[in-house]
Amino acid sequence: MLSISYQVVCSSSYFLSGYLPHKDASIPQIWPRKGPSPTNAPSRRKKLAFFVGAMNSRVRENFVKTWNNDSEIMVHRGSMKTPYSEAFEINTARIGDALYYGCVPVILADHYDLPYADILNWESFSVIVSSLDIPKLKQILEAIEYHHYVKLQNNVMKVKKHFQWNSFSKDFDIFHMVMYELWIRGSHLRHIY
């Protein structure tokens, strides 16, 4: 009998030792929160993008260097003392936070397995940009027509339940999605070996 093991990881970079792309499963980094999430309507959003984070990769360093002084792409190095929802428009670069606040995630990640990649069509609720296109980010975001942006944001509102931790698991929450992802991966790999 062949035994196959799977990892469930928060960071699914292809360059992490021990992580096997497309075999191991990626789980979104989510902080448990209580109550309904705040959400601004698409028409009330004034910024193209918002980033906050540590300078722990070349992609982030390049992003901050390129967009640090832009008025439409808000960049903040390190952590913030003020909550996102109070300091800025309700936007963030972190996928889990973006979804919590009802924002369309802009994902700059090459060589990375997105959570639930076998289940969700990420292009239906996010904008995925190659890190090589960081200098063209504003042009890429401005080219998204308003009706398409509204469609992306409506899909965010539909999928955000898949990115929530609950004290007791609820249908289609993060626990169910991870279990389903593992089942799909297991079914697929059993046929390969």
41-71 residue pLDDT tens: 778 778 888 887 778 788 888 889 999 999 9
Contact assessment for residue 181 and residue 25, using Cβ atoms and an 8 Å cutoff: yes
Contact assessment for residue 117 and residue 26, using Cβ atoms and an 8 Å cutoff: yes
User: Residue 120 has what pLDDT?
Assistant: 94
Alpha-carbon distance 28 to 84, whole Å? 19
pLDDT tens per residue, range 71-119: 999 887 776 665 555 544 333 347 888 888 888 999 887 877 888 888 9
Alpha-carbon distance 50 to 31, whole Å? 19
What is the rounded average pLDDT of the residues 5-9?
A: 75
Positive or negative CA dihedral for 39, 161, 141, 132?
positive
CB atoms within 10 A of CB 50: 24
CA 29, 113, 162, 141: dihedral to nearest 10 degrees? Answer: 90
Greatest alpha-carbon pair distance for the chain in Å reads 60
Q: Which of 70, 76, 68, 72 is nearest to 93 (CA)?
A: 76
Contacts of 155 (CB under 8 A, 6+ apart): 124, 125
Alpha-carbon distance 116 to 45, whole Å? 28
Q: Is 159 helix (H, G, I), strand (E, B) or coil?
A: helix
CA 29, 34, 35, 40: dihedral to nearest 10 degrees? Answer: -30
Q: Is 47 helix (H, G, I), strand (E, B) or coil?
A: coil
User: Residue 87 has what pLDDT?
Assistant: 47
Contacts of 163 (CB under 8 A, 6+ apart): 28, 30, 95, 96, 99, 100, 115, 174
Alpha-carbon distance 28 to 33, whole Å? 14
User: Residue 37 has what pLDDT?
Assistant: 79
All structural domains of the chain = 8-192 (3.40.50)
